[in-house]
Amino acid sequence: MLELLIQTIINGLFIGFLFGLAGMGLTLIFGIMKLLNFAQGPMIMLGAYGAFWVYVLLSVDPMLGILMTAIFGLILGALLYRGLLFKLVQAPALASLLVLFGVSMILENTMLNLWSPNPRSIPVDYPTFSFGLVTISGARLIVSAVAILASMLLMVTLKWTTFGRIIRATVQDRNAATLMGVDVTNVYMVGSSIGIGLTLLSGGLLALIYPFEPFGGLQYSLYSFVVVVLGTLGNPLGCLLAGLIIGLLHSFTGSYWTLNMSPAVAYLILVLTLLFRPGGLMAGRD
């Protein structure tokens, strides 16, 4: 049926934009600092809780809550870098993975103790639009719009501003950048800040459309990893594209086969990518 197809595509795109945004922070941090953020899942949850509490306690528009949680993310990213991450930049991969896992354990259990295991969600009331049998949800539109906006903003910044050039220079060759007068530590801090800010932003958006609980981050982080690997670690555009691909795959698998196998399909893509095109979709391009 045509309607099923259209609805499937729409569903897939919506899921995809959010996955793309979630992966954006991850890929940025990796691109700049070569650190894989294994605390991604709990951080997304933290973003969701942030938006939720702002909404509940201050009774403001949820979008404001999302904005605030994103800003909190920016600050958190900077602080985390200063307090912890700077030590990991030069450390072997094993060490950084473990430390970030430690961070994720702390985050999850602190959230559990503070906010209980009950799943929460922001009860939104955005309209839905129906065209025959096809429906488009207002909330999803907003989430996707913000996701696209944020991604575009990031890419534009990286490509067209001096600031972005500095970041890219550091990524390309840290030592050369230092020689050119770049304060690499600052770049890392900014990178961490933006990366975690984006992660928390995606969490905040998530709060609008999904329920969340302290241990709910695992699924999202696994999907994020698939997305960033597919989209080439360090490449925001690739990440967005990969997000869309994974989103559409999830949707099509669910609609035409069975939702049971959607995660398996995603992991299959992961394995295939790693086998045949380990650089990801955008390997070899800037």
Under the criterion CB under 8 A, does residue 253 sit at the interface with another protein? yes
Window 18-57: residues binding another protein (CB under 8 A): 30, 36
Within 188-227, which residues bind another protein (CB under 8 A)? 209-213, 215-216, 218-220, 222-223, 225-226
234 three-state secondary structure: coil
Nearer to another protein, 5 or 156 (CB): 5
Stretch that binds another protein, among 61-69, 109-117, 148-156, 189-197 (CB under 8 A): 109-117
Binds another protein (CB under 8 A): choice among 69, 137, 144, 192: 137
Q: Which residue has the tokens 């197809």?
A: 5
- Give yes or no for residue 120 binding another protein (CB under 8 A): yes
- Count of residues near another protein by CB under 8 A: 87
Closest residue by Cα to residue 234 from 141, 150, 170, 163? 170
Q: List the one residue from 58, 60, 64, 87 that touches another protein (CB under 8 A).
A: 87
Angle at 206 between CA 245 and CA 21, to 5 degrees: 40
> Which residue of 64, 145, 153, 259 would you call a contact of another protein, by CB under 8 A?
259
State the Cα–Cα distance between residues 158 and 15, nearest whole angstrom.
Answer: 25
Q: Is 81 in the site for another protein (CB under 8 A)?
A: no
Give min distance, CB of 264 to another protein, in A: 5
Q: How far apart are CA 210 and CA 219, in angstroms?
A: 13
Q: Give the binding range for another protein (CB under 8 A) out of 64-72, 131-139, 170-178, 194-202.
A: 131-139
DSSP state of 260: G
How far is the CA of 108 from the CAs of 41, 113, 144, 156, 218, in angstroms? Answer: 9, 9, 27, 34, 10
Query: Residue from 90, 113, 161, 185 that binds another protein (CB under 8 A)?
Result: 113
CB of 160 to another protein, least distance (A): 29
**In whole angstroms, what is the distance from residue 256 CA to residue 149 CA?**
31
From candidates 8, 192, 193, 232, binder to another protein by CB under 8 A: 8
Which residues have CB under 8 Å from 67's CB, separation 6+?
204
Q: Is 180 in the site for another protein (CB under 8 A)?
A: no
Q: Which residues does 118 contact at the CB level (< 8 Å), separation at least 6?
A: 213
